[in-house]
Amino acid sequence: MALNRLVAGNWKMHGLSSDLGEIKKIARESRQYPEVEVALCLPASLIERAARAVPGFPIGAQDVHQAEDGACTGCISAPMLRDAGASLVIVGHSERREAQCESNAEVRAKAEAALSYGLGVILCVGESAEIRDAGQAVETVAAQLDLSLPPQVDDPARLAIAYEPIWAIGTGKVPTPAEIEDMHAALRQRLDVAYGEAGGSVRILYGGSVKPSNASEIFAVPHVDGALVGGASLRAADLIPIVAAAAAVEGAPIIA
Ligand code: PGA
């Protein structure tokens, strides 16, 4: 079975009820590109209303707690996200790894919990500018992936990895195609080691300053199976050209 490319928007801490019209527009215009899977990961406060507003369009969250329920003030569990209408969740975004001090072990537990409740997972990894400058990006990110991956996955098509260099997020800076290819090839190899043949069905997204102007070049890089898009996902006028660029790349990204 061929898997489609995945373009997921990460709205971060943006979005009020007045933005539901834009969400509807993104869902409607995405339908022109059935060969691309499009999703929006929204602030928790908007998930239920968005899921009701765009039935059938994947709405996701940006974090999840690893426990099912309990004394965890301010946290949201996987069954709660499902209950609100979410079908996927981002885990291990660098903004959370840094500001909330999330460890690889915690990210792994969150991914496991989300998958076990039937959510899709976008698991983020990526290096700092210092690590890149020291020439240690590939081994650092590969090790981060090894320690963050759930030990097993029943349905690998529900897991995606997002390679997001921290220095590229929101900065307008993007690695060269060769740097992206080297990293994605290394991550693909780690997925094969972790899951065997099933690892081939885990999509690897690139994230960090993906824009309409650079999307075609990024999607043409081998082993790039989609994108995680921050700033450019807030408006249909920016996101839909990125989806169109994903649709225009020859061939399916990976074969399950
Ligand atoms: P950006 O964010 O596209 O605004 O760089 C990407 C992300 O943080 O997921």
pLDDT at 256: 56
Sign, CA dihedral 101-105-106-108, equals positive
pLDDT range class, residue 237, cuts 50, 70, 90: very high
CA–CA dist 147, 107 (Å, integer) = 9
Per the prediction, the chain carries an average pLDDT of 96
Beta carbon of 50 within 6 Å of any ligand 1 atom? no
pLDDT at 254: 77
- Looking from the CA of residue 211, the nearest atom of ligand 1 is 3
Against a cut of 0.95, is the pTM above it? yes
pLDDT tens string 50-96: 999 999 999 999 999 999 999 999 999 999 999 999 999 999 999 99
Distance 227 CA to ligand 1 centre (A): 10
Beta-carbon contacts of 88 under 8 Å, excluding residues fewer than 6 positions away, are: 8, 39, 41, 58, 60, 61, 119, 120, 121, 122, 158
User: Is 164 an active-site residue?
Assistant: yes
- Looking from the CA of residue 207, the nearest atom of ligand 1 is 6
- Looking from the CA of residue 90, the nearest atom of ligand 1 is 9
pLDDT tens string 188-217: 999 999 999 999 999 999 999 999 999 999
Residues in the chain: 256
pLDDT at 255: 65
Beta carbon of 209 within 6 Å of any ligand 1 atom? yes
User: Is 139 an active-site residue?
Assistant: no
Beta carbon of 208 within 6 Å of any ligand 1 atom? yes
Measured by CA distance, the residue closest to atom 7 of ligand 1 is 230
Estimate the crossing angle of helix 104-116 against helix 137-148, to 10 degrees: 50
Beta carbon of 27 within 6 Å of any ligand 1 atom? no
Q: 3-class secondary structure for the chain?
A: CEECEEEEEECCCCCCHHHHHHHHHHHHHHCCCCCEEEEEECCHHHHHHHHHHCCCCCEEECCCECCCCCCCCCCCEHHHHHHHCCCEEEECCHHHHHHCCCCHHHHHHHHHHHHHCCCEEEEEECCCHHHHHCCCHHHHHHHHHHHHCCCCCCCHHHEEEEECCHHHCCCCCCCCHHHHHHHHHHHHHHHHHHHHHHHHHCEEEEECCCCCCCHHHHHCCCCCCEEEECHHHCCHHHHHHHHHHHHHCCCCCEEC
Measured by CA distance, the residue closest to atom 6 of ligand 1 is 230
Nearest to 30 by CA among 254, 244, 251: 244
Per the CB < 8 A criterion, the answer to whether 141 and 186 are in contact is: yes
Q: What percent of the chain has pLDDT over 70?
A: 99
The preferred substitution site among 10, 163, 166 for testing ligand 1, maximizing ligand atoms within 8 Å of CB, is 10
**pLDDT beyond 80 at 252:** no
Beta carbon of 10 within 6 Å of any ligand 1 atom? yes
Beta carbon of 58 within 6 Å of any ligand 1 atom? no
Beta carbon of 127 within 6 Å of any ligand 1 atom? no
pLDDT at 89: 98
